């Protein structure tokens, strides 16, 4: 097959559709109408002689052939885009709109106090925060950057670790006064332990205790199983049970005595926070500016 510019153009349109999740959003990125994007995909399919996308009224999905083609072309398109941005200076211009999905703990405890600094540094950039569950589809929602806790599944998305925060086992003074303080992790078996759902697996997190190279799992039970961190922490402060929480965000509650860390002699379990970039078809300067800002403020924690 001979190469021409139409083939490269069609590949770029395909990548934009995959990475934004719809013809409409791909058109916004490329400066085309949704119908123009659809026609470009149809021409590419005709030229290649294969079906690349299964289309319904609600969702677009790559076929097996489309998945294989996208995996092969994406790195090359990214390289071409990077080269063009470098020579044109676009990589140095921070402007436009950036849609982000932020973990609530990070947003409240880390980013919010520094947002005035961010807007002052990048006055031509509009930051739009979108509420999305940790298991939500970033591409389908048109998210440019997400900040999420926990190990990230292996995908074509680009991720950057921002920090590790300690996992703490805590209870309120009221709970401990009524039920007694467990002396060892194993003693939790006799206590009411608030369970928290892992959004990636849709089941409660297992409880573990780490000390240097030793890892000790403990089977805990409780009458509360929750999906919202703020609800879990508030319930724990109110004396509803013992909880495992992230150190990030609960430091004030520990400092003023609303919560008590139960096992400071097991200090080595941590949980990672990642910044995730789901798409390559984005203004690189805006994305990099936000990623670098988040990385810098996390280093000071």
Sequence ranges of the domains in the chain: 5-91, 96-161+272-299, 164-270
Model pLDDT for residues 267-282, shown as the tens digit of each residue:
999 999 999 887 555 5
> What is residue 239's predicted lDDT score, i.e. its pLDDT?
98
Fold for the domain defined by 164-270: D-Maltodextrin-Binding Protein; domain 2 (3.40.190)
The alpha carbon of residue 30 and the mean position of all alpha carbons in its chain are separated, in whole angstroms, by 25
pLDDT tens digit string along 63-82?
A: 888 888 888 887 777 666 66
**Which has the higher per-residue pLDDT, 135 or 103?**
103
Q: In what order do the strands lie in the sheet with 225-226?
A: 203-204, 195-198, 225-226
Residue with tokens 């990589």: 91
Question: Which range is most confident: 63-72, 80-89, 259-268, 283-292?
Answer: 259-268
Positions of E strands within 72-124: 96-102
CB neighbourhood size of 261 (10 A): 16
Cβ atoms of 270 and 164 within 8 Å: the answer is yes
96-161+272-299 against 164-270: fold identical = yes
Domain 5-91, second-level architecture: Orthogonal Bundle (1.10)
> What does the mean pLDDT of the chain come to?
86
pLDDT tens per residue, range 139-184? 667 788 999 998 876 555 678 899 999 999 999 999 999 999 999 9
Q: Which two tokens stand for residue 234?
A: 């508030």
CATH number of 96-161+272-299: 3.40.190.10
């Amino acid at each position: 097959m001979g190469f021409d510019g139409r083939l490269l153009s069609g590949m770029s349109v395909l990548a934009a559709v995959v990475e934004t999740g719809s013809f409409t959003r791909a058109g916004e990125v490329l400066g085309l109408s949704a119908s123009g994007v659809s026609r470009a995909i149809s021409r590419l399919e005709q030229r290649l002689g294969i079906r690349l996308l299964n289309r319904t009224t609600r969702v677009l999905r790559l076929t097996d052939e489309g998945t294989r083609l996208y995996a092969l072309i994406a790195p090359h398109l990214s390289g071409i885009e990077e080269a063009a941005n470098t020579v044109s200076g676009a990589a140095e211009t921070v402007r436009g709109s950036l849609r982000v999905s932020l973990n609530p703990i990070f947003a409240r405890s880390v980013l919010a106090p520094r947002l005035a600094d961010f807007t002052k540094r990048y006055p031509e950039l509009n930051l739009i925060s979108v509420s999305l569950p940790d298991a939500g589809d970033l591409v389908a929602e048109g998210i440019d950057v997400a900040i999420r806790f926990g190990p990230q599944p292996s995908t074509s998305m680009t991720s950057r670790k921002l920090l590790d925060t300690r996992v703490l086992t805590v209870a309120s003074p009221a709970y401990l006064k009524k039920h007694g303080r467990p002396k060892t992790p194993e003693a939790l078996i006799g206590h009411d332990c608030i369970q928290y759902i892992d959004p990636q697996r849709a089941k409660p997190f297992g409880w573990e205790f780490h000390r240097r190279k030793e890892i000790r799992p403990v089977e805990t039970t409780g009458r509360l199983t929750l999906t919202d961190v703020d609800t879990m922490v508030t319930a724990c402060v109110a004396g509803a049970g013992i909880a495992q929480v992230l150190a990030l965000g609960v430091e004030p509650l520990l400092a003023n005595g609303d919560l008590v860390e139960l096992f400071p002699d097991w200090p080595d379990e941590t949980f990672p926070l990642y910044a995730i970039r789901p798409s390559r078809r984005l203004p690189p300067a805006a994305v990099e500016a936000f990623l670098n800002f988040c990385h810098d403020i996390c280093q000071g924690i």
